[in-house]
Structure 1
Amino acid sequence: MAATAATRQPQKDLPLEESRAYLKNHFKDHSGAKYKDGWDKLWQAGDFLPWDRMVPSPALADTLNNHSHVVGSAKLVLPDGTTRRKQALVPGCGRGVDVMLLQSYGYDVVGLEISAKAVEACETYARETENEELYGCKDEKLGKGSRKFVVGDFYADEWLDKVGVKDGVFELIYDYTVSLFSELSFNGLLILLQFFCAMNPSMRPAWANRMSTLLAPNPQANLICLEFPTNKPPNAGGPPYSSPPKAYMEHLSHPGEDVPYTAEGEVKVNPLADSGPGALERVGHWHPTDTHAIGKDTEGKVNDYVSVWRHR
């Protein structure tokens, strides 16, 4: 899909270390409460957005296309036999590409971002691309869903009031932190990234607890995680921190609880431990047929996993 001039300006294509240095220098003037201004200025300038891929996650598309027997469709069947669209959430949605993809499959989708300028970029991109084939209706009987982009903090509740989601819960949540920004750590930026691989393991209990809270207690509701990086040595530090499948398993089985790690960064697994309150159960786990290049090895083999979770 080609980007229009209004959607994306020429980028500063810098090597990884130079990009990290550029961002660290940028956020020196936007620390603490000013961090939102820092994000806004990057989106306003539009020439240095190295996390912005301009296309939806191939792994999410693969999940929706080839694993519907696990995740179901965008139609929610209610106890009385009536139906409605499932409500979906993409936290940290960037330019909203995955929001647009889910909408094309019939979901009513909320894209959450910390930056007001990012939300403006989402709205512009959506207007310019909504009629492109990539985001065309995937099921004529179901039709396309709705989309809504909102500014807010994933861990706070204020944004829920803005989107009017029923009971404050979602039937689908897509979690993925990718690209250069997941490899940065300065001025508290990790707290803003909010998602699994970007967080120091000490922050993961809060992530798991929030996911458990926001996911509807319904067997038709799914949390979809794109697990990355799965093969990074645990003692290599981060971000991105080593995020093997067993780390997701331990945290989502014990939302809000401290999960022990070794001094080398390896998660400790206790197979005899009971699941915690609000625990999620893994109901699907596979390598997607495709993913972004950062999730592949030098020979093009996919290292990422997709995992799907529901309330027990």
Structure 2
Amino acid sequence: MSNPPDQPTDARARLLTHFQTARGTTEHGQKWDDLWKEGFVPWDKGIPNPALVDLLTERQDLFPPSLKASRRKALVPGCGKGYDVLLLSAFGYDAYGLEISSKALEAARQNEKEMDGKGVYETREGVEKGSVTWLSGDFFADDFLKDVKGEGSFDLIYDYTFLSALPPVMRPAWSKRFVELLAPEGRVVCIEFPTYKPASTGGPPWALPPKIYLAHLSRPGVELPYGEDGELLESKLGEPSKIGLQRIEHFQPKRTHQIGYNAEGKVTDWVSVWRHP
């Protein structure tokens, strides 16, 4: 089965144009905030990713219980309207949704009022519902941690479309930050997307085949070699870092958001789960 041809949609063409002049994390964050203020959010699907729902429901063996008296904490950077945050709360995590856009957080708070505890967000049997906290700030700075209970680390950090929203130059900082914020026995969960598009087409969303996650999370903070076409030069990577995360599970989910299927109905997303060495 073939992957879908990467034919730019009107929405993606607008995103490409919108971010052409962005430089650095501050300008990049402002560009996303501008889109939220305009109400142009084509990435919003209105529900948590079904792949995350299934992972939390069917693979609790991947997530060790907290060794502390306090409840486990989860972080969703770039949480948007907060669907995944509400879901993690329903599974017993004290869930934190981090956003650089105040407009996005307004929508997240409204969603919490309307949806929390209902449908897919109903608290799971045998689980005490976790708290929900909305954080305003930059993922790459520490300011938001002042509003986090206890230590500034998390038992679960979730990424779906957050990395694909960042330009490739920010990938070393992204991987380093995940390692810094992950609790000693914690897990990183990535829904890897988009895996099918050529790197040369640019972004956002930027092309993210599984090899990108593997290369960066196993070499946190390291600038990795890329070709002029944007493709990772795997032969020049060198050995993984001793502090890099280890991938403990990697599979294609039974279901995901519609954008994660190709024209023949085959899932193109991957799920990966990571831990400290």
TM-score computed with the length of structure 1 as normaliser: 0.77
CA contact (8 A) 1:71 1:308 kept: no
Deviations 1:33-91 (Å, cap 9, x if unpaired)?
78777656654565x3322221111111111112222234xx4134xxxx432100000
Matched, 1:169 2:158: no
Give the superposition deviation at 1:138. 0.8
Residue 77 of structure 1, aligned match among 62, 67, 76:
67
How far apart, CA to CA, are the structure 2 residues paired with 1:251 and 1:32? 18
CA gap of 1:18–1:122, structure 2 versus 1, over 3 A, is: closer
Task: State how 1:111-150 maps to structure 2 within 5 Å.
Answer: 111-139=97-125, 141-150=126-135
Query: Which segments of 5 or more consecutive residues in structure 2 lack a partner in the other structure?
Result: 1-7
Q: For 1:171, what is the secondary structure of its paired residue?
A: strand
Deviations 1:167-223 (Å, cap 9, x if unpaired)?
21101000111xxxxxxxxxxxxxxxxx322333332111100111111122xx100
What residue is the counterpart of 2:251 in the other structure? 286
How far apart, CA to CA, are the structure 1 residues paired with 2:26 and 2:236? 42
Identity %: 44
What residue is the counterpart of 1:249 in the other structure? 214
Q: For 1:309, what is the secondary structure of its paired residue?
A: strand
CA RMSD of aligned residues (A): 2.9
CA contact (8 A) 1:43 1:121 kept: no
Matched, 1:160 2:160: no
CA contact (8 A) 2:225 2:236 kept: no
Deviations 1:79-123 (Å, cap 9, x if unpaired)?
xxxx43210000000100000000000000100011122212111
Task: State how 1:210-249 maps to structure 2 within 5 Å.
Answer: 210-218=177-185, 221-249=186-214
What residue is the counterpart of 1:188 in the other structure? none
Q: For 1:109, what is the secondary structure of its paired residue?
A: strand
CA gap of 1:258–1:269, structure 2 versus 1, over 3 A, is: same
CA contact (8 A) 1:27 1:35 kept: no
Count how many residue pairs are aligned between Structure 1 and Structure 2: 268
Residue 90 of structure 2, aligned match among 89, 94, 104:
104
How far apart, CA to CA, are the structure 1 residues paired with 2:16 and 2:227? 31
How far apart, CA to CA, are the structure 2 residues paired with 1:306 and 1:32? 27
How far apart, CA to CA, are the structure 2 residues paired with 1:235 and 1:59? 27
Deviations 1:254-299 (Å, cap 9, x if unpaired)?
1001111233333233599432253100000000111111111012
